Amino acid sequence: MMTSDAPIGVFDSGIGGLTVAREIMRNLPMEKIVYFGDTARVPYGNKSKATIVRYSLQITNFLRTQGIKALVIACNTATSMALPEVSEFAGMPVIGVVEPGARVAAETTRNGRIGVIGTRATISANAYTNAIHSINPSLNVIGQACPMLVPLVEEGWVHDHVTDEILMRYLDDLLEHDIDTLILGCTHYPLLRSAIKRLVGNQVNLVNPAYETAKELERMLGREGLASDSPRNQDEPYPYRFFVSDEAEKFTDFANSILPVDVGRARMIPIEEY
Ligand code: DGL
């Protein structure tokens, strides 16, 4: 029996999902979070569907041992490749990041031309195109795989002229299609937001699905009667717990640099055993 004061499970292939966890912390301050970053096996974006499904199910299995009440797949690649499998397996409400991002892009575009950047897996699965077309089939969606961006973010090269040049190679094509909306279709990319904004200019609206995912999570918890309604008291244990499959210290440093709270210590777990 799931209780409303149980934590929410959030996972990603690495640090990218922290951009989603950050929005959940900001928008749903009464909710607890158990985060898992698969730092030993990142990146997922160049791997096959079978592998991404297997990894996602192992992580779901691990997060279930933490007594979670709902699960957020804070990774576009895992959402694109494994959302139905995870939903079937989890035995609790599950949301991904693609649908919420697609909805806001479909609602806000003015000229009907939407660009999407993501990993190879996300773009080749046509995840955003399908989600946007199920809302409005007349919209034009142009996808661009950007396989080099995740390693650059994982390395911390977010303000670097090399990253700018690589970004420009990826974005040039999209800009030629006269897009007015660009979906940051990988949870690592909001960390490059200021560079991307500078390169695409003010006429292109950036959509960060992390924000919409937090809103969707709030609606879903309300619908399911799972929203936490008791403010935490001082004696309660720390509300956010972090687990990784490798390099816990590096992850902790990074998480502390982008989250509005002190992360404590991320713990390493043997994810292959789940
Ligand atoms: N952050 C992930 C995403 O949203 C994937 C990055 C990767 O592991 O390739 O797609």
- Span 58-83, mean pLDDT? 97
pLDDT digits (tens, 9 = 90+) for 2-34: 788 999 999 999 999 999 999 999 999 999 999
- Please state, as a whole number, how many other Cβ atoms lie within 10 Å of the Cβ of residue 186: 33
Is residue 75 within 6 Å of ligand 1 at its C-beta?
A: yes
Answer whether residue 233 shows pLDDT above 70.
no
Q: Is 22 helix (H, G, I), strand (E, B) or coil?
A: helix
* CATH code for residues 8-96+211-273: 3.40.50.1860
All CATH 3.40.50.1860 domain ranges in the chain, comma separated: 8-96+211-273, 98-209
CA distances from 32 to 49, 98, 181 (A): 30, 23, 33
Q: Does the annotation count 186 as an active-site position?
A: yes
- Secondary structure element (H or E) that encloses residue 255, with its range: helix 248-258
**How many angstroms is it from 146 CA to the middle of ligand 1?**
11
The single residue of 75, 92, 117, 259 carrying the catalytic annotation is: 75
Nearest-atom index, ligand 1, CA of 118: 10
Class for the domain spanning 98-209:
alpha beta
Q: What is the pLDDT of residue 236?
A: 64
pLDDT digits (tens, 9 = 90+) for 96-121: 999 999 999 999 999 999 999 999 99
**How many angstroms is it from 121 CA to the middle of ligand 1?**
9
Percent of the chain with pLDDT over 70: 97
**How many angstroms is it from 189 CA to the middle of ligand 1?**
9
Global pTM value: 0.94
